[in-house]
């Protein structure tokens, strides 16, 4: 329902199977963030005068969750919005949110989409919109050199390699993708690690959130290879909540509010790509795109070096293609977005 960006060093608001209330999340909001959140709650029927009262009285999230109709009336708010806000604050105390990290069973998540499987084999496929990365691309060359720089000290990337090591490779590839996509589209992409997203049912921090302007367009879940199925389950839930977050920011008066986002599940070595739209989930391939982080690649005359370059180039081409596709569709009406996605899914 909303989102906050918090430092990576802070403790996650909900871990394991623990659920938190929406009020627990709202407590963290300052006045500006609270107003942004309330503005997205269209059913409250608030206008700028009502929100200005919240601003003038310096009501933050902690104050809001205990606010009463009488207090709001004393601040000068009309009876209707005052009652709506007070009732909403009470509802927030009772609304439970499940942590993304608590989703361990891909089977249970897929059942919500009418799919029956313990793995990814029943997830429908979609056609990737890729971009061809040139060998001479300065960002690509810098990315490979950056990886080799780290590999000199880390050695080969193994299945059980530390998360901090994997994160450095993932971050390098994502940042490079944003640079290339930004040059191509002239759009201002940003990436937020440990970004907190609050949906209607789930909340928590995603490993990496990619945004264009204020819209979330891609969410990445970084997992070790042995927990990749958990990564799928959690990424699907993250995409659901990200869609709900974006929807709150859009101003539409009709019932057609179709939109879509991309998801990435990766172990740094293996990369999986997801496409989410309301009620549907698709994957780019049943097999991952792989990058071999082999220390032998430090020899630039070796097959390992060429394999590393090819793998990085393929992954960059996919991510850049997804970002280009998503921003090119941003200003399209929902009907055209829907037709676009139906086309991607029918080609597989």
Tokens representing residue 243 in the block:
């869609």
The reply to whether 25 falls in a domain is yes
* pTM across the whole model: 0.83
Q: What confidence tens digit (pLDDT) does each residue in 131-159 have?
A: 999 999 999 999 999 999 999 999 999 87
My answer on whether 90 and 37 are in the same domain is yes
Backbone phi, then psi, for 205, in 5-degree steps? Answer: -100, 135
My answer on whether 75 and 123 are in the same domain is no
Phi/psi region, residue 114 (left: phi>0; alpha: psi -120 to 50; beta: rest), is: left
Say how many C-beta atoms besides its own lie within 10 A of residue 215's C-beta: 17
State the pLDDT at residue 252: 53
Last residue of a domain, one of 56, 72, 94: 94
Return the CATH number at 84. 1.10.150.50
State the pLDDT at residue 9: 33
CA separation for the pair 286, 194 (Å, rounded): 27
Mean pLDDT by 10 residues, the chain (348 residues): 38 48 88 87 88 95 94 95 94 90 95 93 96 96 97 89 90 97 96 91 93 90 85 96 86 69 96 96 96 96 98 98 95 92 88
CA separation for the pair 158, 293 (Å, rounded): 8
The reply to whether 6 falls in a domain is no
Say how many C-beta atoms besides its own lie within 10 A of residue 193's C-beta: 18
Which H helix or E strand runs over 95? none
The reply to whether 99 falls in a domain is no
- End-to-end alpha carbon distance in the chain: 33
State the pLDDT at residue 195: 92
Tokens representing residue 184 in the block:
């191509």
> What is the number of helices (H) and of strands (E) in the chain?
12, 10
Domain extent at residue 88: 17-94
* Helix 303-328 and helix 138-154, axial crossing angle in degrees, nearest 10: 130
Say how many C-beta atoms besides its own lie within 10 A of residue 267's C-beta: 25
State the pLDDT at residue 345: 94
Q: Which of 174, 187, 160 is nearest to 218 (CA)?
A: 174
My answer on whether 197 and 248 are in the same domain is yes
The reply to whether 3 falls in a domain is no
Return the CATH number at 293. 3.90.1570.30
My answer on whether 172 and 43 are in the same domain is no
Which H helix or E strand runs over 90? helix 79-94
Which H helix or E strand runs over 290? strand 289-290
The domain total for the chain is 2
Last residue of a domain, one of 94, 124, 152: 94
∠ CA 290-293-299, rounded to 5°: 125
| N residues, the chain | 348
My answer on whether 110 and 254 are in the same domain is yes
CA separation for the pair 114, 109 (Å, rounded): 9
My answer on whether 247 and 335 are in the same domain is yes
Q: Are 36 and 235 in contact (CB under 8 A)?
A: no
The reply to whether 10 falls in a domain is no
My answer on whether 160 and 120 are in the same domain is yes
With 0-12 / 13-18 / 19 or more C-beta atoms within 10 angstroms meaning exposed / middle / buried, residue 114 is exposed
């Amino acid at each position: 329902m909303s989102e906050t960006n918090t430092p990576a060093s802070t403790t996650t608001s909900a871990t394991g199977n623990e659920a938190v209330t929406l009020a627990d999340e709202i407590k963290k909001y300052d006045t500006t963030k609270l107003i942004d959140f309330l503005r997205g709650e269209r059913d409250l029927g608030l206008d700028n005068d009502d929100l200005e009262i919240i601003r003038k009285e310096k009501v933050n999230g902690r104050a809001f969750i205990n606010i009463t109709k009488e207090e709001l009336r004393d601040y000068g708010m009309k009876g209707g919005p005052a009652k709506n806000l007070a009732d909403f604050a009470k509802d927030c105390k009772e609304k439970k949110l499940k942590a993304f990290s608590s989703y361990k069973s891909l089977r249970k998540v897929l059942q919500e989409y009418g799919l029956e499987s313990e793995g990814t084999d029943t997830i429908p496929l979609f056609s990737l919109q890729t971009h061809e990365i040139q060998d001479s691309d300065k960002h690509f060359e810098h990315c490979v050199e950056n990886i080799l720089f780290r590999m000199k000290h880390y050695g080969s990337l193994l299945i059980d390699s530390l998360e901090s090591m994997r994160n450095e490779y993932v971050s390098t590839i994502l940042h490079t993708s944003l640079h290339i996509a930004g040059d191509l589209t002239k759009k201002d992409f940003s990436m937020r690690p440990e970004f907190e997203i609050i949906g209607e049912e789930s909340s928590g921090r995603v490993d990496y959130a990619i945004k264009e302007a204020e819209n979330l367009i891609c969410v990445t879940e970084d997992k070790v290879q042995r927990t990749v199925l958990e990564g799928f389950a959690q990424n699907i839930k993250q995409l659901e909540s990200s869609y709900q977050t974006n929807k709150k920011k859009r101003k539409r008066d009709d019932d057609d509010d179709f939109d879509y986002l991309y998801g990435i599940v990766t172990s740094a070595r293996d990369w999986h790509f997801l496409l989410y739209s309301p009620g549907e989930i698709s994957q780019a391939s049943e097999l991952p795109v792989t990058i071999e982080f082999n220390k032998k690649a430090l020899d630039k005359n070796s097959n390992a070096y060429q394999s590393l370059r090819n793998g990085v180039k393929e992954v960059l081409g996919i991510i850049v293609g997804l970002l280009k596709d998503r921003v090119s569709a941003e200003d399209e009406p929902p009907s055209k977005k829907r037709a676009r996605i139906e086309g991607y899914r029918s080609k597989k």
